[in-house]
A and B are shown apart, each in its own frame.
Chain A
């Protein structure tokens, strides 16, 4: 936060009277900075995790506006309006935005951004944000900054590259900053007793040639993988889907954890693709990441190495996973996992 203020002040010094008090200076600067946080909805439910965009906006300073589009989104907008520090929620009420198709969502968003003179646009680096934001960036002729984990100042951001093997600090020279954020790096803003007003946004109702047909979502009453506080993950070492289903869910249940999988497990058909943790799957950073039968390839580590505590069970004591694990147990997972499950239940 300190670094952020310093940079703001440096930026504003040439534009404002240096005689004014620090407070007045800051308030003027904060007016210059105006962030639009894109909120996701699905089937009439506000995606609470998308409130991470508001958290990131808070770190930037300046005014914060929320944005939500779809059919019957007013109740969700009212919910989001209670988040502390949000000044306004722009609402575009139109069912053609329900599925988040970027072909019409991006031009609609671009209109609202131009009208509102926003300096920063933030969305989560989720399937929705990844699909939408680059298209928006191209329409506004902006080079987006993807999947950031830290905000250094209003124009300087930190993001992992090379599957998290390097950390890049990058400065944007674009007049509008378009950013997607890594959800695990910014906790969702809490719905409290804020009272932002709702305002109708612009709706150009752009015609599109893409049609949404159907979806097939893996039904699960477990915690959501990307945000769970505990994750139990299985890899190739489980040998079959039967063994995966026999060993991993009970252990996850014993811990109240979400289930994850390595790419090898997904490719071998042991687990659904949506459970994949890694560079090409989900990034997770739970309190506990407990994995069995995962060797720890760099692509997998990319998705879980920010976990607070990493524990692993693997029969190969030289597996790279042991180099990052806080607790490692060398042994046969077919014995150790059931034993662990039993003992945790007690």
Chain B
């Protein structure tokens, strides 16, 4: 059936959200060695969204492919994605480079375009942003490259029986929400409110070890590592001085007046 969904879910391995990042001594990047990494929180939501669509059953979900671009250790987040319910995964191995940093969103989008076309996907669900670079670009760029519709910052994904081949997405916008109806194929980026990702159970983690993970390089997709942006410097933000505590409400009002805040 032509209306069955084949979903691509790109996931990124990032420094764990609870870790306070430290700038390296040379002020060229964030220190990543020996730091806890995990799947970008928005990408967990994307995987969960894809798996819930399958559980919903209508339209049928034929394939959920998780993909990650990055160093060897990205295979960990792909295993997690498969343990959560992705059918298979693709790892485009790109080792980190001191001078280049990581691949830029535009290059990532170019790889994803190739994959979406080759794998014949009709939906790509991405996180709205990665919590390291905070760019919020990849999904929109991919939609532009493919010429597909886009619904960013989704808080609800819905299908209606009578609207075959269409998806309804409610988006978080400034001041509230808006709802779009998009014709498949479609790019969706996920907001935190979309769902609560499941924990992978031990049996599912074991099963995920048997699922297929294919290995690729950038050259397979005709994309090079060239960067358009050069990092000049990475610095710690200026520290804020905690101004100490006051005893009571009157003290608070007096201090706020003194600081000219009220």
Contact = CB atoms under 8 A, between A and B. Distances in A.
A129 to B, nearest CB: 10
Interface residues of B, number: 81
B38 to A, nearest CB: 14
Contact of A210 (B145, B149, B256): B149
Contacts of A288: 256, 261-262
Contacts of B144: 102, 106, 134-139
A162 B174 contact: no
B21 A166 contact: yes
B262 A144 contact: no
| Dominant secondary structure at the A interface | mixed
B95 interface: no
Given A211-B180, A309-B259, A134 B243 contact: no
B58 interface: no
A336 B247 CA distance: 11
A291 interface: no
Interface string A136-171: 111101111111000000001001111111111111
Nearest to B253: A343
A137 B245 contact: no
B142 A138 contact: yes
A274 interface: yes
A243 to B, nearest CB: 18
B222 interface: no
A312 to B, nearest CB: 10
A311 interface: yes
B131 A163 contact: yes
A299 interface: yes
B30 A166 contact: yes
Interface in A99-143: 99, 101-103, 106, 125-128, 130-139, 141-143
Interface in A278-327: 279-280, 287-288, 298-299, 305, 308-311, 313, 317, 322-327
Interface in A189-232: 208-218, 226, 230
A138 B249 contact: no
Given A143-B106, A170-B229, A311-B261, A135 B253 contact: no
A306 B26 CA distance: 25
Contact of A340 (B182, B191, B252): B252
B230 A328 contact: no
8 contacts: A131-B150, A134-B137, A146-B136, A161-B132, A255-B262, A329-B245, A329-B246, A343-B250
Q: Lowest 10 A-B CB distances belong to which pairs? A: A138-B144, A134-B140, A217-B176, A143-B228, A326-B243, A209-B183, A134-B137, A135-B144, A138-B141, A210-B149
Given A166-B234, A217-B176, A328-B242, 18 more contacts: A103-B143, A127-B153, A134-B105, A138-B143, A156-B232, A160-B134, A162-B30, A166-B23, A170-B229, A171-B232, A210-B151, A210-B182, A213-B168, A218-B176, A298-B18, A317-B245, A327-B252, A328-B243
Interface of A: 99, 101-103, 106, 125-128, 130-139, 141-147, 156, 159-174, 208-218, 226, 230, 255, 263, 266-267, 272-274, 279-280, 287-288, 298-299, 305, 308-311, 313, 317, 322-331, 336, 339-340, 343-344
